[in-house]
Amino acid sequence: MSGGADVDESRLLIVGLGLIGGSLASALRFAGFEGQIVGCDPNPDEIARGIEMGLIDSGGTELGAQVADASLIVLAVPVLAMETVMKTLAGALPKAAPDVVITDVGSTKAAIRACAKRVFGGVPANMVLGHPIAGSEKSGVSAANPDLYRHHKVILTPEPDVDEAALARVSALWAACGADVLEMSVEHHDHVLARTSHLPHLLAFSLVDTLARQDDRLDIFRYAAGGFRDFTRIAGSDPVMWRDIFIANRQAVLSSLDDFEAGLARLRKAVEQGDSDALIATFDRASHARHYFDTLLNKTTYQAEYHMQPEGKVTYRVRPGGQAQGRLRVPGDKSMSHRSIMLGALADGVTEVKGFLEGEDSLATLQAFREMGVAIEGPHQGRVTIHGVGMHGLKAPSGPLYVGNSGTAMRLFAGLLAGQAFDSELTGDESLNKRPMARVADPLRLMGATIDTAEGGRPPLNVRGGAALKGIDYDMPMASAQVKSCLLLAGLYAEGETRVREPAPTRDHTERMLNGFGYPVSREGDTCWLQGGGKLTAGPIDVPSDISSATFFLVAAAITPGSDITLEHVGINPTRIGVINILTLMGANLALENQREVGGEPVADIRIRYAPLSGIEIPVDQVPLAIDEFPALFIAAANAKGTTRLRGAEELRVKESDRIQAMADGLAILGVEHTVVADGIDITGNGDDQVASYGGGRIDSLGDHRIAMAFAIAGLRASDDIVIDDCANVATSFPDFVDLVTRVGMTLSVEGA
């Protein structure tokens, strides 16, 4: 690692050569740090061991003797030893040494700041307090580990008047160890750490101690299973260090203990009363929150976490050629999956969903409702049971609701949350945080909601609770089902009637599902409306396969000579079948079989066999009906004879990526002739099924699931490998995409980090 080169310190002094100090030295050495490292520890054996291990160049037991010429001093001693160390330091440091930077690694910050104030008469500008969130139950320099800080967080808690250069030097020190450095206030740090670190240690110490005092302790420990081992590992930690932490962070720990005791009391009661609903609700919430928190903190996507792949590091390699054969069922419809959870949560009664999409987007919606107190069981193989809380039963979430990559979740939630009694905040991932939200915030404000957005109408959205909403008559400036649905959901809570006019038909799953839950939504022509103040009644929901996911296989078959694919149980709602209409116009051989209606939505098996395609002018009225299908349709166009022209599709520029540009960039790499315009694209193919349609190359999906999947399918007619970067987000809508493309006869391998 080259990071060590960025640490411009001539002499680093580590005071306290235990696990933390020793690992810092070890990590810096590994990173190529070439300055001197000096250790100071009351135990001469630790110093000798540090030298023997090659971690420090020299050291001793007297701090005063080690300070000379140090450029950066790291205090890595137990919290309660800090005052003595600081006093010695104050006496030993030359008065005019403003370039010497001091930092620490203590687990509580207010106590250490107070100590610095006592000793130095204020926190010196060259002192940057910090805390690496890493450790181990092991102690001593022998346990030093060069990877201890890699991909861990280091929190710095600088004072407002800190010397910026000092802050940058401490930051660089930790960054060189592979850590993610972030800043927060001392108070926030102590509050958060009391809950995430100090409380669990207290519980582990307490459990082991309680059991160790019992008469049958030998049996208990002898037969203890993995659960005991996992839960109590940290009870083997350094007692002195932890004593100091609990003394130093007393108030914050006591308050976290109060919350914990209240939760424990609730569970105790549930066990006592055999209250199965309360137990399942708590365990289910906790179990999913456990996975979800990892996702959030590690910045990995929900699904990626299961596969242990860091986000953005998933690359697809598609071999040229292959087949498109077979019968398959793609996952459940994303739009309906979101809505099933939303309406199920607000309904009276229990909603059983089957066919639910276990993709990250809909899972984010599900998790958000759990955080608002809704008991939800599953998903287990597409089955979800939602214990509805009624229109006014949601509880305030304890923090921001994170909806990942999902524009649908954020926009629909905006409407729904505008009607709640509590304040809320909606955030998302990097892609979502760039997408426009004024399209929902503006009309919601007209209804009386108070919503703040970040600059340019972007997320996060802060929604003020308790607003008295009023129905509006809204003429949508763009054809968007998300905006329409947002307003209808807000309308449930508004006084009077909420009417939405759409400039072109958009998917109507919200209207259909509301009707299915017994909430009347009317429609006449281009306008739909509902009356506020009603209620939803739970019922079963059968989510059909997502036509947007099916599209990749429709296009695969449409471009591959000899292909024959049947996609089972696909939703063919008239507001979603643009892809069927467009492919048919291009000459695809496509048939709808076994048409039926399932839970208010039309469904069919779609059979598609190869037939040569021709370029067409895509009818503008089909654009909203195929809005998510264009990346794949562009690949169909690249295989068709002649030019396919798309216009009126400016909405594609504000999806998970700018899909016109992202596709154009990829097509350029493959060597496909095309011309980009503001609201569309012209794509020209050779339509010759005897030769490959284009070359291969390396393509950036920009983290957009549909761009990644479209170029994967393109491999069927490429002359060379197509390598697609940044594919982790395929899991947002189509978690088993790779399995299914392999099953139909393509060769796609996944290369992880």
Q: Which residues bind ligand S3P (CB under 6 A)?
A: 335, 408, 480-482, 485, 506-507, 627-628, 651
Distance between CA 31 and CA 147 in Å, rounded? 10
Q: Give the single-character DSSP code of 10.
A: S
Residue 407 in marked binding region: yes
Residue 362 in marked binding region: no
The residue count of the chain comes to: 753
Q: How far is CA 705 from CA 411, 445, 550, 596, 715, in A?
A: 19, 32, 14, 30, 16
Residue type, 475: D
Least distance to ligand S3P, CB of residue 651, Å? 6
Specify the residue, 242 or 517, whose C-beta has the smaller distance to ligand S3P.
517
Residue 59 in marked binding region: no
Residue 334 in marked binding region: yes
Least distance to ligand S3P, CB of residue 624, Å? 7
Under a CB-based contact definition with an 8 Å cutoff, are residues 333 and 353 in contact? no
Residue 335 in marked binding region: yes
Q: Which residue is nearest to ligand S3P (CB)?
A: 335
Least distance to ligand S3P, CB of residue 335, Å? 3
Tokens of 48: 């000798």
DSSP H stretches of helix in 586-704: 630-638, 659-670
Least distance to ligand S3P, CB of residue 410, Å? 11
Specify the residue, 650 or 651, whose C-beta has the smaller distance to ligand S3P.
651
Residue 138 in marked binding region: no
Under a CB-based contact definition with an 8 Å cutoff, are residues 410 and 461 in contact? yes
Distance between CA 456 and CA 471 in Å, rounded? 26
Write the burial class of residue 640 (CB in 10 Å: 0-12 exposed, 13-18 middle, 19+ buried).
buried
Distance between CA 488 and CA 411 in Å, rounded? 11
Specify the residue, 103 or 480, whose C-beta has the smaller distance to ligand S3P.
480
CB proximity list for 539: less than 8 A, separation 6 or greater: 349, 351, 516, 517, 518
Specify the residue, 506 or 563, whose C-beta has the smaller distance to ligand S3P.
506
Specify the residue, 157 or 362, whose C-beta has the smaller distance to ligand S3P.
362
Least distance to ligand S3P, CB of residue 140, Å? 54
For the chain, helix (H) and strand (E) counts, in that order, are: 26, 32
Catalytic residue status for 736: no
Least distance to ligand S3P, CB of residue 341, Å? 12
List the catalytic residue out of 628, 689, 700, 726. 628
Strand partners, 274: none
Specify the residue, 116 or 481, whose C-beta has the smaller distance to ligand S3P.
481
Specify the residue, 89 or 625, whose C-beta has the smaller distance to ligand S3P.
625
Tokens of 32: 């190529």
Least distance to ligand S3P, CB of residue 577, Å? 14
Place of tokens 């010196």: 124
CB proximity list for 28: less than 8 A, separation 6 or greater: 4, 7, 12, 37, 173, 176, 177
Specify the residue, 148 or 461, whose C-beta has the smaller distance to ligand S3P.
461
Under a CB-based contact definition with an 8 Å cutoff, are residues 616 and 586 in contact? yes
Least distance to ligand S3P, CB of residue 515, Å? 16
Provide the Cα torsion 703, 709, 715, 716; round to 10°. Answer: 180
Residue 434 in marked binding region: no
Exposure class string for 571-600: b at 16+ Cβ within 10 A, else e:
bbbebbbbbbbbbebbbbbbeeeeeeeebe
User: What distance separates the 2 farthest-apart alpha carbons in the chain?
Assistant: 87
Distance between CA 410 and CA 481 in Å, rounded? 13
Binding residues for 3-phosphoshikimate: 334-335, 339, 480, 482, 628, 655
Active-site residues, by number, are 628
Binding residues for phosphoenolpyruvate: 334, 407, 435, 482, 659, 706
Binding residues: 334-335, 339, 407, 435, 480, 482, 628, 655, 659, 706
